Amino acid sequence: MSAHNLHPLDQAIALTDTAPGRYTAHTHPDYANAVGPFGGVTAALLLNAAIKHPQAQGEPIAQTVHFAAPISDDVMHIDANPVRTNRSTQHWLVQAFQGGQLVAMATAVFALRRETWSATDAIFPGNQPAPESLTPMSWDGRPRFTYCYDLRYISGIVVPQASPTDAQPGNAESLLWVRDEPPRTLDFPALASICDIFFPRILIRRQRRVPMGTVTLTSYFHADSQMLAQIGSAHLLGRARAQIYRNGYFDQSAEVWSAAGQLLATTHQMVYFKE
Amino acid sequence: MSAHNLHPLDQAIALTDTAPGRYTAHTHPDYANAVGPFGGVTAALLLNAAIKHPQAQGEPIAQTVHFAAPISDDVMHIDANPVRTNRSTQHWLVQAFQGGQLVAMATAVFALRRETWSATDAIFPGNQPAPESLTPMSWDGRPRFTYCYDLRYISGIVVPQASPTDAQPGNAESLLWVRDEPPRTLDFPALASICDIFFPRILIRRQRRVPMGTVTLTSYFHADSQMLAQIGSAHLLGRARAQIYRNGYFDQSAEVWSAAGQLLATTHQMVYFKE
């Protein structure tokens, strides 16, 4: 398959091997954010660097990404290392450099899962309007990467314009349907990226734009690749909330569910804000 | 002050410099868990390695710890590196080795905070019985480290015995008061350790013992050192929950509040379990 037949996400997370665990990669114009690439696609790229490593064992269950510095539209050198491999778990360190400087860093845990007692304590936010009954998010001047996702907000929509108002909701909860656009079969890189698709909660909470950016993101994956493939390209149901905003940083958490009520991922991040 | 006058936590997180950012350290018998040290004290030790680094800038706002392998009661070699320092944020990688093998790894973000608009979306679980009105947790044969904490459960108590019953609650929420024992003024290492004081949720959910262990822990710190010092050695109010248990791994999240309703930390972990 030639490169332009690949889904844009697969182009964006493409890696060129230079040695075992060493790669070069490039940002992709479709996934551009206001400054540098969308954080989700950086998470997907760094996770892919571990997945493609010849020593990879099992499937991802956790990833933490540090957005250390702005990533420019230039070559990235990526170094993926399985820093500890046990019988059923493997710990990873992945670092991305531009011009010899670290721009992003990820750690991850891969695991060989076995069937066990299983249960879900989180409450599935079911009985929502079907994605087909909702209008996809659309406004002029939004970041380029949002066109790579079909985002259908049920509640807690992000404000389209930089117009401060006095009406602030009491919290920043959002419910939305999301899938890749164009549709793409779900896998771990795609899920890792969707874990960062929830707009910074401060935009919803304050109903105004403020300068901000994620500094660190942690995602836990509760699915296996077979389950993800079965979900295919269906919309996923996301629920995002914040806990606290204080002196320049806030945290937010989200759940990513299948339409059938499987909790696929839980994800948390600390976000810088200026005012 | 001689070593035996130090609080046990300060003894447990003591570091001997061998070069800038390189240290030796030892496990402490008071913080022993069933296998190796209590994970919280490992988190505190690795955070302390960054705090004590001559290039540290600002205060911790986030930490992720990978419990890569069992830590034996032997010397640890710790290597702390500020992998990227920006104007207001600093990203850290801290690795601990025994016998040349990685046994634990942490990443962290330090930041210089500025006063901004602030708000708390999480609901403070106030109006709880005072710690003085509750009995400290106590049972025979519990892990040694639990004696280093004054733990007063309000609800969702951990089962003292390995006796499976049929009565499983519908979720694994716990509310409890906690402080260091003996009392110690709160600081970032102490808070980082308390973030791991919430027993694995599967013990509460299933009301039975199963083999388990945390593989990765992420904590976000919403306080500054002045706020922590003002809280002093008062009890903190913790609230812990799980989201999902599936095929060998579950995640849990917790909030750590001051008695006055300040949200000091939010914390998340993925935990291995066997059955």
Question: What is the tens place of the pLDDT at every residue in A56-71?
Answer: 999 999 999 999 999 9
Under the banding of pLDDT at 50, 70 and 90, the label for residue A5 is confident
pLDDT band at B5 (very low <50, low <70, confident <90, very high): confident
The token duo for B43 is: 């988190």
pLDDT tens column, B232-260 = 999 999 999 999 999 999 999 999 999 99
- Assign residue B120 a region: left if phi > 0, alpha if psi is -120 to 50, beta otherwise? beta
Half-sphere exposure of A195 (CA within 13 A, CB side): 31
With 90 as the cut, is the pLDDT of residue A159 above it? no
Q: How far apart are the first and last CA of chain B?
A: 48
Residue A270 near residue A251, CB atoms below 8 Å: yes
Three-class secondary structure of residue B204 per DSSP: helix
The per-residue pLDDT for A28 is: 97
Return the pLDDT at A1.
46
Residue whose tokens read 């920006």: B86
Over residues A197-211, the pLDDT tens digits come to: 999 999 989 888 889
Specify burial of residue A167 (Cβ count, 10 A radius: 0-12, 13-18, 19+).
Answer: exposed
Contact between A121 and B272 using a beta-carbon 8 Å cutoff: no
User: Is B164 an 8 Å CB contact of chain A?
Assistant: no
Q: Counting Cβ atoms within 10 Å, is residue B113 exposed (0-12), middle (13-18) or buried (19+)?
A: middle
Q: How do residues B199-209 score in pLDDT, each as one tens digit?
A: 999 998 988 88
Q: How is residue A183 written in tokens? A: 């549709």
Look at residue A167 in the predicted model and tell me its pLDDT. 62
H-helix or E-strand spanning residue A44: helix A39-51
Per-residue confidence (pLDDT) for residue A161, from 0 to 100: 58
What's the gap in Å between the CA of A257 and the closest CA on chain B?
A: 12
Q: Do A66 and B91 touch (CB under 8 A)?
A: yes
Q: Mind spelling out the 3-state secondary structure of B96-140? A: EEECCEEEEEEEEEEECCCCCCCEECCCCCCCCCCHHHCCCCCCC
Residue written as token pair 């799980």: B242
Please give the pLDDT value at position A160. 60
d(CA B178, CA B154): 11
DSSP H or E run through B11:
helix B8-12
Q: For A40-55, how does the pLDDT look when each residue is reduced to its tens digit (9 = 90+)?
A: 999 999 999 999 999 9
CB B193 within 8 A of CB B264: no
- Provide mean pLDDT across the span A70-87: 97
Element (DSSP H or E) covering residue A255: strand A249-258
pLDDT of residue A250 exceeding 80: yes
Mark yes or no for CB contact A242/B62 under 8 Å: no
pLDDT single digits (tens) B90-143: 999 999 999 999 999 999 999 999 999 999 999 999 999 999 999 998 877 889
Could you report the predicted ipTM of this complex, rounded to two decimals? 0.96
- pLDDT: is A141 or B51 the higher one? B51
Average pLDDT, chain A: 94
Q: Which phi and psi angles does B154 have, rounded to 5°?
A: -95, -40
Nearest to A243 among B116, B241, B263 (CB): B263
pLDDT, one tens digit per residue, over B152-178 is 999 988 766 545 555 677 788 999 999
User: Which residues of B are less than 8 Å from A93 in CB distance?
Assistant: 93, 105
Mean pLDDT, residues A86-97 taken together: 98
* pTM (whole model) above 0.90: yes
- Provide mean pLDDT across the span B206-224: 94
Q: Which of A89-103, A117-131, A163-177 has the lowest mean pLDDT?
A: A163-177
CB contact under 8 A, B247 and A114: yes
pLDDT mean over B12-38: 96
Binding-face residues of B in 92-151 toward A, CB within 8 A: 93, 95, 101-103, 105, 107, 109, 111, 113-122
Q: Do A157 and A205 touch, CB atoms closer than 8 A?
A: no
Q: Which amino acid is at B67?
A: F
Whether residue A2 is predicted with pLDDT greater than 60 in this model: the reply is no
Asked if residues A15 and A23 have their Cβ atoms less than 8 Å apart, the reply is yes
β-bridge partners, B216: B66, B270
Q: Please report which confidence band the pLDDT of residue A146 belongs to, taking 50, 70 and 90 as the band edges.
A: very high
